[in-house]
């Protein structure tokens, strides 16, 4: 589902809130971006011009078609990796919001192949198995690492498959979900669970401990359902937005 009944203006306001939240929580920094599908035209999406998420305002949000061509560029600079968004929206009609991050805690997992699995109740939304996309597999040219066109973007979308999370080796991650609150929650959960798992791995390695307690598949399903409950999501959204200093941008989901 997408946020029900939102106007384009409200969708843009929520997108700016998402940018600020993801920056404040440390998921994105100078780089990284978040988009959402256009609420009135599923063949378009909304994404900022090339600007760090902490600095994005409503005026920066642009419309793109699913080839990631801007509808009205007006001389503005664009994110080099916007093809991520167009390719995933094209491949996944169920997806309405996408985050691309270079979150540092994720990097060791794709670099070593150590599975990134949930060990924390709020890590459940990342799922039991997080796939890894390595640009070298489909593009062994050794001439770049970014998703700068639809050929590379389609390769990534294929690896994401029907999932909500995919790690990008040596790079970061993409997170794709049915609405922007779910995408923001999953992006934060992915990064925080990675930090906790790394700490746990260090303890097991240095203390000679053989076991590590991962969530079971049943726990993952139940806790994801709870986290994606609109009441729970709204509570977290309001909290994150307030922490990020944009409580004035809040649009109550439940009253719309």
Q: Could you list the active site residues?
A: 81
DSSP letters along 33-85, please?
EEEEE-SS-TTEEEEESS--GGG--GGGEEEEETT--BSS-TT----TTTHHH
Please list, in sequence order, all residues whose beta carbon lies within 8 angstroms of the beta carbon of residue 49, skipping any fewer than 6 positions away: 60, 62, 76, 77, 78, 79
Using CB under 5 A, count the residues that bind Zn ion.
1
Q: Is 42 left (phi over 0), alpha (psi -120 to 50) or beta?
A: alpha
Q: How far is the CB of 193 from Zn ion (least distance, A)?
A: 20
Contact range with Zn ion by CB under 5 A, out of 43-51, 77-85, 120-128, 153-161: 77-85
Residue range at the interface with Zn ion (CB under 5 A); choices 76-84, 115-123, 180-188, 235-243: 76-84
Q: Which is nearer to Zn ion, 3 or 81 (CB)?
A: 81
Select from 52-60, 78-86, 116-124, 222-230 the region that touches Zn ion (CB under 5 A).
Answer: 78-86
Shortest CB 171 distance to Zn ion, Å: 6
Contacts of 205 (CB under 8 A, 6+ apart): none
In the complex, what is the shortest distance from the CB of residue 80 to Zn ion, in angstroms, rounded to a whole number? 8
Identity of the residue, 104 or 235, whose beta carbon is nearer to Zn ion in the bound complex: 104
Q: Is 25 exposed, middle or buried (0-12, 13-18, 19+ CB in 10 A)?
A: middle
CB of 184 to Zn ion, least distance (A): 18
Among the listed ranges 35-43, 61-69, 75-83, 173-181, the one in contact with Zn ion (CB under 5 A) is: 75-83
Within positions 81 to 100, which residues make up the interface with Zn ion, using CB under 5 A? 81
Give the shortest CB-30-to-Zn ion separation in angstroms.
Answer: 11
Q: What gap in Å lies between CA 191 and CA 27, rounded to an integer? A: 7
Secondary structure tally for the chain: helices H, strands E: 8, 7
Nearer to Zn ion, 21 or 135 (CB): 135
Pattern 108-147, Zn ion, x by CB under 5 A: ----------------------------------------
Q: How far apart, in whole angstroms, are the C-alpha atoms of residue 207 and residue 204? A: 5
**Helix or strand run (H / E) with residue 27:** none
Nearer to Zn ion, 14 or 81 (CB): 81
- Return the residue nearest Zn ion (CB atom): 81
| Closest to 236 (Cα-Cα) out of 221, 250, 256, 218 | 250
In angstroms, what is the C-alpha Rg of the chain?
Answer: 18
If the CB atoms of residues 106 and 227 are measured against Zn ion, the closer one turns out to be 106
* Contacting positions for Zn ion (CB under 5 A): 81
């Amino acid at each position: 589902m997408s946020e029900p009944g939102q106007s384009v203006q409200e969708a843009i306001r929520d997108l700016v809130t998402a940018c600020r939240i993801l920056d404040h929580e440390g998921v994105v920094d100078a780089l990284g971006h978040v988009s959402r599908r256009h609420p009135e035209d599923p063949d378009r999406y909304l994404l900022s011009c090339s600007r760090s998420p902490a600095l994005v305002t409503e005026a920066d949000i642009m419309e793109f078609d699913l080839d990631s061509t801007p509808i009205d560029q007006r001389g503005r600079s664009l994110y080099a990796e916007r093809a991520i968004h167009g390719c995933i929206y094209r491949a996944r009609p169920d997806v309405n919001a996408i985050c691309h991050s270079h979150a540092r805690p994720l990097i060791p997992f794709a670099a070593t192949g150590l599975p990134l699995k949930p060990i924390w109740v709020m890590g459940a939304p990342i799922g039991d198995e997080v796939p890894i996309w390595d640009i070298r597999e489909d593009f062994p040219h050794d001439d770049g690492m970014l998703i700068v066109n639809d050929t590379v973007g389609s390769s990534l979308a294929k690896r994401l498959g029907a999932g909500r999370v995919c790690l990008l080796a040596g790079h970061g991650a993409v997170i794709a979900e049915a609405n922007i609150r779910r995408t923001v929650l999953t992006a934060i959960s992915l990064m925080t669970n990675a930090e906790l798992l790394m700490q746990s791995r260090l303890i097991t390695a240095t203390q000679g401990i053989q076991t590590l307690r991962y969530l079971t598949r049943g726990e993952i399903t139940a806790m994801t359902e709870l986290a994606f409950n609109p009441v729970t999501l709204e509570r977290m959204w309001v909290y994150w937005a307030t922490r990020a200093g944009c409580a004035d941008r809040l649009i109550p989901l439940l009253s719309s």
